[in-house]
Chains A and B, each alone.
Chain A
Amino acid sequence: MKLNLVVRRTNLVQEGETIEEILKKCGYTIESVILLKKGKVVLEEDILDEDTIEVMPVASGG
């Protein structure tokens, strides 16, 4: 399962929130996902407003 997260100011995401805080609202911790931008692994601090980020949960299998 993959989830696309568009980082923009909505009711869910408030200005100034960190990626970690946004993920928490979606039910993830930073330890439980990998973040991808245009298919490449990206650091939290390299994510900008309006970026589309693919959130890849690391848990799979049984």
Chain B
Amino acid sequence: MRCRCGRKAIYYRRQSGQYLCGICFSKSIESKFRSTIRKYALVSRGDNIVIGLSGGKDSTVLLYLLHNLQKRRPFTVEALIIDEGIAGYRDKTIKVAEKTCQLLGIDYHIFSFAEEFGITLDDIEPDVSHCSYCGVFRRYLLNKKSRELTFEKLAVGLNLDDEVQSILMNLLRGDLFRFGRTGPYYRKKSKFVPRIKPLREISEKEIMLYAVVNHIEVDHSVCPYASEAFRGDIRTFLDEMESKRPTTKYALLRSYDRLFPYLQEQLTYDVSLCEQCGEPSIDTLCKTCTMLEKISVKREHSTNK
């Protein structure tokens, strides 16, 4: 099959019925990235942006795309790398992340759970899953460090699959407050660095394909704790639906985005500051401090035994 430009096609986009060559495919991804940025005014001239970089495909591709966008409009980009302390996994991805930053001339900062919380993810003995601790601690550090380093926006590599998985997970859990916070933009709140998600309309498959076609080095490892996550079941369900009915994921995101302004109006919550650490929280103690206390109690119990 041939692409519309006459070159040999390498990809069939089932959602639109298009056959694309590597060049036209890459251009379509870059165009989608820019149109998402324009639609929600995610990047402005002179912005000081930091990207949460892991070395995996999503954040690495996002770094490349933002780096290229700098040629069109002036803004600064640096990277924030979080080391959760997952032996045999994160150490590998951090090396790829550092290499990418050095290649593109991007400044980066590394922070670890061990230094910031006194514990690695491997050392935690969770009640349910490691992922619940990891998500809370990671978001906490990304926000806190972005703010302390005076960045105005935090870019994250969440893709279409991540977004629709979160929407469905929060709905199935009955967690309406989180359900109302998966939108394309955020209202400014005290001590919160606004997160931007320029890849949220691009599928995981197309991001990986973009990395492969453009010879971008990414780490392909799967987190050893990923199988514990509820997300895996939702991912399988959505992939099967998408295979049977292409555009399922995009239609779900579109439906959610239309609801989002109403959800924001209805599902409001007051943000105060955590009594212990001073970071933003909806309770007297933030989720991170609550979890750290729980870990500390557990450790005391096990040493007393």
Contact = CB atoms under 8 A, between A and B. Distances in A.
Contacts, number: 74
A35 to B, nearest CB: 10
Interface string B103-135: 000000000000000000000000000010010
Contacts of A56: 208, 212, 220
A20 interface: yes
B10 A41 contact: yes
A56 B22 CA distance: 17
Chain A facing B: main interface SS? mixed
Contacts of B205: 31-34, 58
Interface string A44-62: 1100000000001011111
A12 interface: no
A40 B56 contact: no
Nearest to B208: A58
B212 A60 contact: no
A30 B56 contact: no
Contact of A62 (B14, B207, B225, B240): B225
Contacts of B32: none
A41 B25 CA distance: 12
Given A58-B204, A59-B222, A61-B226, 11 more contacts: A1-B220, A2-B220, A29-B240, A31-B243, A34-B208, A41-B213, A43-B9, A43-B10, A43-B19, A45-B1, A58-B209
